[in-house]
Structure 1
Amino acid sequence: MLLLTQLVAIAALAFISLKHEAIAQFVPPYSSVVVPVYKHTDAAKPLYSVQIMTTYVNMQFLHANFLIDLDAPFIWHDCILVWNTFAGSCPANTLCTYPVSCEEYQCTDVRTTYSYKNPSCPPVNNGSTLPGWGYCTCPVNVVNPITGSCDNALLDYDEFTVNTSNGRNVFNGLYGAYPNAACAPSSSFQSFPVNVSGVMALSSSPYAFPAYLNEPLERIMALCLPSTLSSPGVFFYGNSSYYLLPQSNVDIRSFLSYTPLINHPDSFGYFIGLNSIVIKTRSIDIPGNATTKLSTVDPYTTLRSDIYKWVVRRFSLVTKRIPPANPIAPFGLCFNASVNGLRVPDIEFNLQDGKKWSIATANSIKQVTTDVACLGFVDGGATSEPAIVIGTFQLEDNFLVFDLENSSFGFSSSLLRKKTSCANFNFTLTN
């Protein structure tokens, strides 16, 4: 009997060991999640959104577009709160979510630690109760990234769904994320592009979207903003290889250079060290106390006046053979675009560790009218802080990687020179 018991115990231990080994060896078919990125030109400035699946209704997912914001501390969007989402209290064609109570720790954290320091935002207090329950809601301040105005929203529990990927293909398999976001009234989005009804926080905040994308995904975010309206760019999260057509066997990571991300007090945005700007071998040194920020809502790179003055002076000198044109706001240096083959030197950002980010003509010269093209940099004023903000015109068709684990920033320079673009990811679903 003792021998039989020992044999049973050995067999059970062997089974458990094999089960644990199988679990340990399981590798999911995906290494990242992926969503399309759309360009919008029907607002006050060019903007970009990600498309997310928000809720499952009538056997299909509803989709919503969220404005990409590298600074926002948390997601906020057009929705309403109901205490019981299963009681038929949600109106048709409306996104309903469950509220965070003012008594829950998330409410205190978001209000005290991650609120915007904006003079237009009044202090928030506990919200009133909603019909059907007795708890108070949790109002939070949100700032419109287009207008800078302040508004009130109510913190909630959300559920977002995205597709999985291996960096080359989009899989049928889905990944669910469950962030604390906030519901804002529809009126908050009047300045937004058509069909964009939310703000997707991609910042370093613990309440931004990346914070809710967990194992097996690694903390690496890749963003490729399209220059065209006709086809989407792409956003990845996870440690993938990245492939763009037509070069389906070339990993985009082979094009990348990396520089450290720099922490900045009172900001969840992303900053890098810029030592100088070089235009045709002439270097314009950047003061050591000047900060450089990456932005997905500023349309053009903004330079503090002392830096802008030298950049324009140098660029004017090296393009003196191109006929000038009267400047068109907000630009200060413009050219006669009727000249065949308008070609200008690259503008090089010299970064920390000697890395160079080349800004090609496609990212430096903006075609404003049929006859006028302008240097796509603007004067931010004498007291601009940050001193340099790299805007979206300079980011388009550049593959950007934010390695949040190692606090580094990867950049490709223009993909057009690699015979591809941000609009060349294959979004066709595969099994």
Structure 2
Amino acid sequence: MHFFLQLLVIILASFISHKHEAKAAYVPPYTSIVAPVTKHTDAAKPLYSVEIMTTYVNMQYLHANFLIDIDAPFIWHDCILQWNPYPGSCPNNTLCTYPVSCEEYQCTDVRTTYSYPNLPSCPPANNASTLPGWGYCTCPVNVVSPITTSCTQALLNYDDFTVYTSNGRNVFTGAYGANPNAACAPSSTFASFPKNINGVMAFSSSPCALPAYLYQPLKRSLALCLPSTLSSRGVLFFGSGPYYLLPQSDVDLRSYLSYTPLLKHPDSFGYFIGLKSIVIRRRSIGLPTNITTKLSTIEPYTLLRTNIYNQVVRVFSFYTIGIPPANPVPLFSVCYSTITRMILRLVPDIDLILSNGNKWTVSTANSMKQVTRDVACLAFVDGGVTPEHEIVIGTFQFEDNFLEFNLENSSLGFSSSLLRRQTSCSNFNFTLTNSY
């Protein structure tokens, strides 16, 4: 009998061990989350939004568009706080969320460490407000509009966002949830935003931005592919890859990437890179070693400090002397007549030589902005004599480029123009497939 008991124990132990091994070895079928990206031109400048699911109502998720901001310290959007929401208590077409109390550590963290810079127009934060029937103070925090730079007070909350999962090629019906602390801002705050955008989604390196709330098994890597047209969608991934675009359904976009280190800036949660020089054909424009080059999803065109801009214009104009000039158009000072579109083939590439020696090529599609039917302009802008950052690379230079912000090893992967590889950021297949 003793022998049989020992044998039974061994069999059970083996079964439990194999069960735990199988559980530990489980690898989910998705490698990333995925969301569509839309271009908007109905505001003061071109902007881009990402579509996120916000709440579950009547057996389906509601979708909302959030402005993509890779510099914002935290998420904020059009919503109201309710401490005891119940079915039917939230007004129609309104998102209701739970408040964070001013006595909670999240309130202190956002106010003191992960906040927007205090502007003269920002009201002082206080703990005087509460909600009807709720015995605690709310947590007012200041938010700054990336469009108008005006400051508004919002209330910190506990939020709930949902996105679809993907293996880089397909979008699954399975959902991935995140529960960040965000803030509810008044509806009037979004009057200057493009139509149907009523929030700012922070994708910065801040511990209060969305990437900080996207946990295992996802790798901490944000991939962004901005569309160049209003009629088609780009794509945003967060995870480890692979990433595929049609028609090259078997080519992982990571094979196109070159890399350079992401740098930290003491006054920003945004992303910065080192730039050594700007090369136009054989002419190199050297840059000071101490300058900062910022990446922005808010600035539409690359900004260059005046002395750098003047050098770029001088060299660029030398190599485009055969193209008929046109009168300058507001924002741009270097414009050309393009009655014959074929003439743009004479425009040289602009190569950004990075700190590690790798080259980010800005092709004609990302250097020349067609502003009218017959006029195209150099999409690099004079940023002034004493700007905050000497160089800011804007979204026109991002369009149809695949960018991977790897937050685990602090590197930026960049593809240069995908158009030269016979694809574009609008070629991801968003057709939903069955969950796993």
TM-score class normalised by the smaller sequence: over 0.9
Structure 2 SS opposite 1:349: strand
Displacement, 1:172? 1.0
What residue ranges of structure 2 are gaps of 5+ in the alignment?
none
Query: 2:102 matched to which residue of 1?
Result: 102
Measured in 1, the distance between the counterparts of 2:105 and 2:8 equals 48
Query: 2:133 matched to which residue of 1?
Result: 132
Measured in 2, the distance between the counterparts of 1:6 and 1:124 equals 68
Measured in 2, the distance between the counterparts of 1:111 and 1:267 equals 15
The correspondence of residues 29-428 of structure 1 with structure 2, limited to 5 A, is 29-86=29-86, 88-119=88-119, 120-341=121-342, 342-343=344-345, 344-428=347-431
Asked whether 1:17 is paired with 2:32, we answer no
Displacement, 1:2? 4.5
Measured in 1, the distance between the counterparts of 2:93 and 2:386 equals 47
Structure 1 SS opposite 2:85: coil
Decide whether the 8 Å contact of 2:351 with 2:359 is kept in 1: yes
Displacement, 1:131? 1.1
Measured in 2, the distance between the counterparts of 1:127 and 1:326 equals 56
Equivalent residues, number: 431
Structure 2 SS opposite 1:199: strand
Moved over 6 A (4+): none
Structure 1 SS opposite 2:9: helix
Measured in 2, the distance between the counterparts of 1:229 and 1:166 equals 26
Structure 1 SS opposite 2:262: strand
Name the CA shift for 1:131/1:88 in 2 (closer, same or farther; >3 Å): farther
Displacement, 1:263? 0.7
Measured in 1, the distance between the counterparts of 2:126 and 2:102 equals 9
RMSD (Å) for aligned C-alpha atoms: 1.1
Identity of aligned residues (%): 73
Query: 1:27 matched to which residue of 2?
Result: 27
Asked whether 1:430 is paired with 2:436, we answer no
Decide whether the 8 Å contact of 1:73 with 1:114 is kept in 2: yes
Deviations 1:69-97 (A, max 9, x none): 01101110000000012264211221100
Measured in 1, the distance between the counterparts of 2:256 and 2:410 equals 19
Structure 1 SS opposite 2:65: strand
What residue ranges of structure 1 are gaps of 5+ in the alignment?
none
Deviations 1:4-54 (A, max 9, x none): 543443333223212210111111010000000000011111000000000
Structure 2 SS opposite 1:228: coil
Measured in 2, the distance between the counterparts of 1:30 and 1:216 equals 9
Displacement, 1:266? 1.3
With 339-348 and 351-360 compared, the bigger mean Cα shift is at 339-348
Decide whether the 8 Å contact of 1:127 with 1:138 is kept in 2: no
Tell me which amino acid in the other structure corresponds to 2:26: F
Decide whether the 8 Å contact of 2:123 with 2:152 is kept in 1: no
Decide whether the 8 Å contact of 2:45 with 2:300 is kept in 1: yes
Measured in 1, the distance between the counterparts of 2:110 and 2:118 equals 15
Measured in 2, the distance between the counterparts of 1:347 and 1:26 equals 47
**Scaled by the length of structure 1, what TM-score is found?**
0.98
Structure 2 SS opposite 1:33: strand
Name the CA shift for 1:285/1:147 in 2 (closer, same or farther; >3 Å): same
Measured in 2, the distance between the counterparts of 1:7 and 1:155 equals 59
Name the CA shift for 1:73/1:127 in 2 (closer, same or farther; >3 Å): farther
Decide whether the 8 Å contact of 2:74 with 2:115 is kept in 1: no
Name the CA shift for 1:310/1:54 in 2 (closer, same or farther; >3 Å): same
**Scaled by the length of structure 2, what TM-score is found?**
0.97
Measured in 2, the distance between the counterparts of 1:393 and 1:383 equals 23
Deviations 1:336-380 (A, max 9, x none): 121441220000000022100000001000111122111001001
Tell me which amino acid in the other structure corresponds to 1:387: E
Structure 2 SS opposite 1:417: helix
Tell me which amino acid in the other structure corresponds to 2:353: N
Tell me which amino acid in the other structure corresponds to 2:46: P
Structure 2 SS opposite 1:130: coil
Structure 2 SS opposite 1:420: coil
Decide whether the 8 Å contact of 1:35 with 1:234 is kept in 2: yes
Name the CA shift for 1:81/1:263 in 2 (closer, same or farther; >3 Å): same
Decide whether the 8 Å contact of 1:291 with 1:385 is kept in 2: no
Displacement, 1:422? 0.2
Measured in 1, the distance between the counterparts of 2:202 and 2:411 equals 19
